[in-house]
Amino acid sequence: MIAVQIARWCAALLLCSAGTGEIRQIETQWIFVSEPVHWESPPREIGSKTKTGFAEVIVLYPSGEYGYVGCYLIHQRKGDVSISRGDSHAVRIGTWRERGGDVEVTSRLVYQDVRVSGRPIPGPPTVERFANVSGSGLRRMRDKKRFLPLRSLQDLHFLATLLSCDRAYWDGQKELEGPQPCMPPDAGRGR
């Protein structure tokens, strides 16, 4: 049991770059969003022109790093898109590389608001393949879902913060303590 916990801590430290607090900048040309997003409008009585919809947002950093956020997006009346701060989200991080004309991603779940019994966080590594689609997007092989460039995302810093900072530690049954990359090591102690 102790060996398993030590292994998880080592993996978590490698994944999280603990103690660096570095939030990596993201450029819009590195971002892709799952399509189609099923946009829903609020009730008419509210008078809001925004729409929301669940999407998967992926970031392919030129360095070979990979980021994923499953979240609700908000589509503003003028076309700008932002990430909802009031809804749940999931974060996966890892690496990507081109392989045989496709993109191969190795990643693991490092954060999820909703904990599922029996599913630890960080989760095990998974490998996914994406086909390049005529130079404009990607298609995930396992479910044929399309990912298109998302140039209208306005909160690049918030996306970068989610990918760099959000971490959870869950053994499948209970919460665990673990390194939080964007917090000082003594944050939250001594209160």
Domain CATH number, residue 120? 2.40.128
For residue 106, the one-letter residue type is T
- Kindly indicate the confidence band of residue 164, based on its pLDDT and cuts at 50, 70 and 90: very high
| Other C-beta atoms lying within 10 Å of the C-beta of residue 24 | 14
Does a structural domain hold residue 176? no
**How many domains is the chain built from?**
1
Does a structural domain hold residue 10? no
Calculate what percentage of the chain has a pLDDT beyond 90: 55
Does a structural domain hold residue 14? no
Is 93 strand, coil or helix? strand
Is the pLDDT at 19 greater than 50? The verdict is no
Q: Which helix (H) or strand (E) holds 168?
A: none
Specify the residue for token string 């966080």: 121
- 14: exposed, middle or buried (C-beta count within 10 Å: 0-12, 13-18, 19+)? exposed
Dihedrals phi, psi of 93, to nearest 5 degrees: -130, 155
Does a structural domain hold residue 182? no
Does a structural domain hold residue 189? no
Whole-number pLDDT of residue 136? 80
Does a structural domain hold residue 130? yes
C-alpha dihedral, 165 to 85 to 125 to 94, nearest 10°: -50
Is the pLDDT at 180 greater than 90? The verdict is no
Kindly report the pTM of this predicted structure: 0.82
Q: Tell me which of 20-34, 83-97, 136-150 is least confident.
A: 20-34
Does a structural domain hold residue 188? no
Bridge partners (DSSP) of residue 131 are: 102, 139
Domain span at residue 90 reads 30-165
Does a structural domain hold residue 97? yes
Calculate what percentage of the chain has a pLDDT beyond 70: 84
